[in-house]
Structure 1
C-alpha cells in the first residue's frame, strides 16, 4: 500500500482518528496530556514505506469509502494507543508510544476538550474504569460502528491477546452516540487554561537570574559595540505605548448618539448607542478594559472559532454597561469583535470575558447580542431599531408568538435551547420586528444569536413568515449540531420531494403509522460562520407523518447547498411499511441523472433514485447535472 494512500486517509479523517485515540488512551495523564498524546500518536500513524494491507475486510473499515488506507491508519492508531497505556518496566524495552510526546507541545497552556456536561463526565469515568483493550473495543463499536466480529479482528491485529474478554468488558458500558458527538469527547475542539502560574513565576525568576549572570559574563568577555538593541525600532512595552494607554482609558470610549442609526449609511453595531444603568461607572469600565487587555489567571476567557482574543487596538465603542441577573455586565465593540465582560455584583472574583466575531454584520446580523445566561435562560440586548420582540417554538409553526416586553432594549429571560439538557422536544427562538420586517434568531451558545432563513441559497427568505416556519419545524432540533461553531446564519432549503415505494411509512431508526401518505421531503440546512470557512451542511430526510427529520449526510467546508454552489445530492437507507429496505436518493433541481455504486447498484434518469437494498448496505452516489458536470453525494 502506498504511503500516499495512507496519508490521504489520515488527512481526510484526522479528527475522527484523534477522537479514537483519545477514547482508547488511559486517563492517568489527565485530559490535557491525553489530548496531546492523541494528536501525537495519530500524526505518527503513517507507515514509513510501502506497507502490507491489514488483514481486515475492506467492508469493515468504516471509512466513508471503505478504503484500505483508512483501515491501516486506524489499526496503527489503536495499536500505539494500547501500547501507550502499558506500564513502564526497567528491564523491558520502552516503546516510543509509552513516552510523553515531544510534539505537539504548547508552552504555558493546558489544552483540554470543552465540558460535556454531567452525562459526559459520567461516561468518561465509566470508560476510565475499563482496561485498555476494553476501551478500544468500546470505541470501535461506538465511534466506528463496527460489528463485534470486525472489532475482534481489529483488536487481534493490534496485538490484544483476548479480544473476546475485551468485548465482554466493554459491553458493561452502554453506547451513547449523542455524548460522543458532544464537545467533551472532541480533542480537536479545545479550550485553553494557563499552567501553574506560581511555579512558572519561580522558574522565570531563576531563569532571569541565570540569564543576567550570563549577560554580565558576556559583556565582560565579549567585544564592545554600539549596534542597535535586539528589538530594533520596536515601541516600548504595551503599558507604555500611548495608543495602548488610550485604549484602556474609559474616558475615551466611543459613545454613539441614540438617533445615529436613523441617518447613518451603515446600520450595524457601529450605530448602537450606549445603554444600561452603569454607563457612568468609570471604575467598572476601567476594570473591563484592563481585563480585556490583560486577563488574569482567574478570568474565564472564551472566544468563538476564528476570533482573536487580544486587546483592543484603540478606544472601543461602549454598547452596554449595567446590572443583569446578579452580575455587572459591560459590552464593547471594536469594529471586528463584540467583547462581553461580566463580574459578580459583590466583587471581581470569577469574572468572565467572552469574544465573538461580528465583522460584516448588517441590519439583520446586528439585531441582538446576549447579555447573560442563568439557570438555563438567556437574556438579550436588542438593536435600537427593533420595535417588537416575541418568543415562539420553532417546532410548532402554527402556534402564535408570545409578545415580550423590552425594557431599554433588554428582553426578559427566555429558555435557551443551547443550554437545555435531555431530548429535544421544543426549540425556542427569538422573533424580532423592525421597520423592514420580522426575523428569527436562535441562541447557539455564543454572544451573537444566529439568523434563521429558508429558501434556495442566494435567494433565501429571512422573514419569519409561514413558509419559513413550516420549513424549519421538522428540522429545528438539528440546530443543536451547530452549537459553539461561530455560526452567523442557518438556511433551510427544501430541495426535493420524493414519492415513497410500497405506499407506506417507515424510516431509518423510526416507524411511521400505517398509511402515512404523501411524498418525503429532502431539506438541506447550511450554517455559515462569521469567519467565512467552517460551514456545516446537513442533508435531512423528512418522511410523511413524521414530526422530525433524519440526518442523512453531513459535511464541513464544502460549497454544496450554498450561494456559490446551490447543488446537493444525498441518499438514505429507508424501510417501507412492507418491511422492504430501499436506497432513496435525491438531487437538487438541475440534476439530470443519479447513479449508485458500491453496496447498492442502480441508476435513474432525473433527480430521484429508488433502489432496493439490504439493511446496512453502503453506497456511493454520483449525479450528472444538465450542464454536463458531475456532483458527488454529500457525506
Structure 2
C-alpha cells in the first residue's frame, strides 16, 4: 500500500494507452483522498474564497471517478510494477482538469461547465469551513500562487506536492488541455522551489478544517420586520461610527464588539508600553520587558492599531498560528511594543504581554490579509530572550536580537570544524537573512544555527524550529549545574544536528545534548558514543528524551520516550540500548547507562548481564529485549523504549 505522503508515480511514456477499471480508480481515490483534495484546493483559484475552495475541492475529487460501474476509461500508458498506479494517475488527471476548468471565466453565450458552478454536494448549512491557519510563510506563498495563471499554479503544485519531473508535468498539462505547458512551467519557476515543503502545511489541508458560523444575524431575519430593521440599523451604526471604531482602521480584524474599559485600553496604540534603550543596563534584567521598541514603523499608529485589533479578534482572512500550550485570546492589558517595521515584503509588528509574544505580519500591498503568531515566553531570560524571528522568506530566516547582543554569526552545527560565518547586524539589532533549517526539504547535510555574542562576551547557539522564538542548544550532564551553551562544545551536537527536525513546531524552549557513555565496539573497529538529547518546551509538558548512538559509520536514534524525567535535571540518569551490526554482518545488542550505573541486565528476546554501565551481547537481527539497570544507591532504572 502506498503512503498518503508519497504520490504514486505514473509513467511518463505516452506511447500507449491502457484501460483503468472503475474499481481500481475508486480504490486509489479512497486511499489517497487527502492528497487529491489538497491538490484540487491548491489548484483552484484563491478568488473563490476559502470556504468555497474547500467544498469545491471535495466535490471535484469525489466526481473524479469514471462514469458507470462497469465502464473503462483510457489514460496515458502506465508501466507495470507495484510502484506504478494507473488508477491514481486517472483520478489525479481528472482532478487537475476540473480544477483548471473551475477557474475559467463564465461566457455569456456558452453553457457553464459543471466544475464552474458552486458544488451541489458536499454542502454544509450554517457553517463556514476553512483549513487551519499557518504562518506568514504560508500567507506569502498563497499570495504568490494566486498571482500565477491557473496552469502555472497547477504546474507548481504538481512539481512540489506530487514530486513530478517536468516532462511528466508537461504531459499531464497537455492531457488536460493546457495550450502552452512550457509557458506554464516557466511561469511556475518564478515561485522559489524552496517553498515546496509549505504545500504540505495544514494551511493547505482541506481535510483538517475549522468551522465558524455564517452570518448569524442574517439567519435570524425570519423574525419580525421591525427587529430585522433595528438590527440592520445597529450594524450600520457600528460601521459608520467614529473613526477608529470601524472595519477600515482595524484591517483584517473581525467586526468590533462590546469591550470592557481594560480590554479597550489594550487596543489603543497610544497605551503601548515602550522600554528605553538602556532599560536592560539600568535594571540589570535581560528579558523581553527591557527590549526597546525598534523598527522604522514604530510611530505608524494605523499599523499598530491593526495589529492590536487582529490580536484581539482575528477575522476570517487572518492566518492564526498558536504554539502548543499557548493561550489564545487578546492581551489582558496594553502590551509592550518590541518592533514595527518592514521585513522583506511584509510589515511586521512584535508585541509582548508578559506571557506571550505576538507576531503580526501583513503584506505591504494588501493590509486586508494578515498572519498572527502567538507563542509563550513566560520566564524567558538571558539566552531564552536573546532573539525573535522577524520573518522567513525564500528559505531564509531573519532575526531581531536583544539589545545586549553585540555580534552575530552563522555556524553549521553538523560540521563543527567548518568556519563560523560572520552575520551582518544592524544598529537596531536586525540580522541579515541566512538559510533556515526549518524550511529545508530533502536530505539533511547541514544545519545552520545562529550564534550570538552578548555584552559579557558569552556566546549562545540558537536554532530555528519553525517558531517565533528560536530554541537554545546546550550540552552537558543535567545535574552538573546550569546547562552549558552548545557553543562551548559544538562537536557534541555535530552527529545529531539533523535529528532536530523531529521537534519542529513543538513549542521548544531548549534542547540539551549529553554524552553519557562511550563504548568499545565488539568487533574492535573503534568506539561509539551514547548521547541523550532532551527537549524542553515552554509549556513544561511535551518533553522528549532520545538516546542516540554515534559510531564511526554514522549516528542513529536507538530509543525515545516522552514525558519522563530521565536525562533531565530532576533525574540525571539514563539507560538505553540498541542493535548494532558489524562490518562482517554480526549483530549485537549494545547497552549503556550513565555515570552511577553499577549493573546492566537484558531479559526477554535476548538475555545477558554485566557489571558496570556497559553491555554487549550477540543477538539476532530484529531481536528485542527488556533493559534494566541498577544504580550505586540500589535504585533500579528502566531503559528507554526502542525508537520506532
Shorter-normalised TM range:
0.5 to 0.7
Q: Report how far residue 591 of structure 1 moved.
A: 1.2
Q: Report how far residue 26 of structure 1 moved.
A: 5.8
Q: 1:213 to 1:278 in 2, by over 3 A?
A: closer
Q: Tell me which of 455, 463, 485 is aligned to 2:485.
A: 463
Describe the superposition over 1:386-445 as per-residue Cα deviations: whole angstroms up to 9, x where unpaired: 011111101121223111121110000010001011110000000000123111000001
Residue 531 in 1 paired to residue 527 in 2? no
Q: Tell me which of 190, 195, 203 is aligned to 2:211.
A: 195
After superposition, where does 1:130-141 map in structure 2 within 5 Å?
none
Residue 581 in 1 paired to residue 584 in 2? no
Q: 1:339 to 1:192 in 2, by over 3 A?
A: farther
Flag structure 2 segments of 5+ consecutive residues without an equivalent. 1-29, 42-121, 139-156, 165-197, 228-255
Taking the aligned partners of 1:270 and 1:119, their CA distance within structure 2 comes to 45
Q: 1:532 to 1:424 in 2, by over 3 A?
A: same
Per the alignment, residue 375 of structure 1 pairs with 394
Taking the aligned partners of 1:110 and 1:609, their CA distance within structure 2 comes to 54
CA contact (8 A) 1:238 1:244 kept: no
Q: Report how far residue 629 of structure 1 moved.
A: 1.5
Q: Tell me which of 397, 410, 414 is aligned to 2:430.
A: 410
Residue 322 in 1 paired to residue 353 in 2? no
CA contact (8 A) 1:584 1:610 kept: yes
Per the alignment, residue 392 of structure 1 pairs with 411
Q: Report how far residue 123 of structure 1 moved.
A: 9.1
After superposition, where does 1:94-243 map in structure 2 within 5 Å?
121-122=161-162, 194-195=210-211, 200-201=214-215, 205-207=218-220, 209=222, 239-243=258-262
Taking the aligned partners of 1:616 and 1:585, their CA distance within structure 2 comes to 15
Q: 1:253 to 1:300 in 2, by over 3 A?
A: same
Q: Tell me which of 623, 626, 630 is aligned to 2:629.
A: 623
Residue 257 in 1 paired to residue 289 in 2? no
Q: Report how far residue 320 of structure 1 moved.
A: 0.2
Taking the aligned partners of 2:209 and 2:160, their CA distance within structure 1 comes to 20
CA contact (8 A) 2:396 2:436 kept: yes
Per the alignment, residue 441 of structure 1 pairs with 462
Per the alignment, residue 288 of structure 1 pairs with 307
Q: Tell me which of 459, 479, 486 is aligned to 2:500.
A: 479
Taking the aligned partners of 1:530 and 1:559, their CA distance within structure 2 comes to 16
Per the alignment, residue 613 of structure 2 pairs with 607
Per the alignment, residue 421 of structure 1 pairs with 441
Per the alignment, residue 267 of structure 1 pairs with 286
Per the alignment, residue 516 of structure 2 pairs with 495
Q: Report how far residue 112 of structure 1 moved.
A: 6.4
TM-score, normalised to structure 2, is 0.64
Taking the aligned partners of 1:627 and 1:210, their CA distance within structure 2 comes to 77
Taking the aligned partners of 1:499 and 1:183, their CA distance within structure 2 comes to 45
Describe the superposition over 1:544-571 as per-residue Cα deviations: whole angstroms up to 9, x where unpaired: 3x3x420111121111110001111111
CA contact (8 A) 2:529 2:549 kept: yes
Residue 521 in 1 paired to residue 537 in 2? no
C-alpha RMSD of the superposition: 3.5
Taking the aligned partners of 2:158 and 2:609, their CA distance within structure 1 comes to 47
SS in 2 for 1:527: strand
Q: 1:28 to 1:464 in 2, by over 3 A?
A: closer
Q: Report how far residue 362 of structure 1 moved.
A: 0.8
Q: Which has the higher contact order (CA 8 A, sep 6+)?
A: 2
Taking the aligned partners of 1:559 and 1:118, their CA distance within structure 2 comes to 45
Taking the aligned partners of 1:184 and 1:390, their CA distance within structure 2 comes to 31
Q: 1:532 to 1:348 in 2, by over 3 A?
A: same
Taking the aligned partners of 2:316 and 2:272, their CA distance within structure 1 comes to 26
SS in 1 for 2:585: coil
CA contact (8 A) 2:604 2:626 kept: yes
CA contact (8 A) 2:575 2:638 kept: yes
Q: Tell me which of 450, 454, 460 is aligned to 1:430.
A: 450
CA contact (8 A) 2:127 2:212 kept: no
